[in-house]
Amino acid sequence: MSRRDMQPGEAVRHHVLSVLVENRSGVLSRVANLFARRGYNIVSLAVAPTEDEAFSRITVVVDVESAPLEQIVKQLDKLINVVEISELDPRWSVERELLLATVAATPDVRGRVVELVQIFEGRILAVTHEELTVSLEGHPTKVDDFEEMLRPFGIRELQRTGRVALPRLGARPGEPSAATA
């Protein structure tokens, strides 16, 4: 696990909420609509079923400059299909994000792109004479850095998943010593 998993000073205006919801049609739209109609900004959002197929987990990164986190959580909690909400403190949680990018990589610079992918422990998924499609899974800040380093080569297309997160094993807010990774 990279040192980048621990970023205590990371953008405090962003908070990560892990929202357990009933796995029913329309639930994502209820959550998204709530943010829209109350004027809360979503930075990123990822959703998929959990180990129990009756439930899905939405990992949502919110911009708390738009509203106090407490109010966002309370309003979310009023949605009937929302079962549980926890705020994931970046210091005591593991976070991951996936990036896919197609980058210009003509033969003269391809070696440097490949080297970059290797440094970041990413993967090369497809190659043509002119372009490479690469993937990287990692902590969102690592993915940020990777994207930044790729940019000068010329990003043709890029898609990120938004972050997903779980509490770090054994970690509890207020018990920093429990943090092991």
Partner 1 sequence: MDMNGGQALIRALEMEGTEVMFGLPGGAILPVYDPVLDSTIRHILVRHEQGAGHMAEGYAHATGRPGVAMVTSGPGATNIVTPLADAFMDSIPMVVITGQVARPAIGTDAFQECDITGITQAVTKHNFLVTEADEITLAIRQAFHLATTGRPGPVLVDIPKDIVDPTNPASATGWEWPTDDEVARSLPGYRPATSGDPEAIERAADLILAAERPILYVGGGILKARAAEALRELAELTQIRVVTTLMARGAFPDGHDLCLGMPGMHGNYTAVTSMQRSDLLIALGARFDDRVTGKVPSFAPEAKIIHADIDAAELGKVRRPDVPIHGDCRLIIEDLVAALRRRLASGAETPDRRPWNSQISGWQERYPLAYEPPVEGDQLKPQMVLEHLRDSVPEDTILASGVGQHQMWASQYWRFNHPYTWVNSGGLGTMGFSVPAAIGAKVGRPDRMVWAVDGDGCFQMTAQELVTASAERIPVKVAILNNAYLGMVRQWQEMFYEERYSEVYLSPDLPDYVRWAEAMGCVGIRVESPEEIQPAIDKANDIDDRPVVVEFRTDSREKVFPMVPAGKSNDEIQVPPFQAGHGVQTGEGGN
Q: Is 172 in the site for partner 1 (CB under 8 A)?
A: no
CB of 24 to partner 1, least distance (A): 10
Q: Is 71 in the site for partner 1 (CB under 8 A)?
A: yes
Q: What is the DSSP letter of 129?
A: S
How many residues touch partner 1 under the rule CB under 8 A: the total is 20
Which of 37, 39, 53, 180 contacts partner 1 by CB under 8 A? 37
**Residues 97-136 as x/- pattern, contact with partner 1 by CB under 8 A:** ----------------------------------------
Overall residue count recorded for the chain in this entry: 181
Q: Is 33 in the site for partner 1 (CB under 8 A)?
A: yes
Beta bridge partners of 56: 21, 49
- Judging by DSSP bridges, how do beta strands 93-104 and 164-167 pair with one another? antiparallel
Q: How far apart are CA 87 and CA 16, in angstroms?
A: 6
Residue range at the interface with partner 1 (CB under 8 A); choices 23-31, 127-135, 144-152, 157-165: 23-31
Nearer to partner 1, 79 or 100 (CB): 79
State the DSSP H helix or E strand holding residue 144, giving kind and residue range, or none if neither: helix 140-150
- Return the closest-CA partner of residue 153 out of 98, 100, 114: 114
The DSSP string of 23-88 is --TTHHHHHHHHHHHTTPEEEEEEEEE-SSTTEEEEEEEEETTSS-HHHHHHHHHHSTTEEEEEEE
Residue range at the interface with partner 1 (CB under 8 A); choices 10-18, 72-80, 111-119, 157-165: 72-80
Q: Is 50 in the site for partner 1 (CB under 8 A)?
A: no
Which of 80, 108, 174, 177 contacts partner 1 by CB under 8 A? 80
Q: How far apart are CA 45 and CA 16, in angstroms?
A: 10
Which of 4, 14, 30, 156 contacts partner 1 by CB under 8 A? 30
Which of 81, 133, 135, 141 contacts partner 1 by CB under 8 A? 81
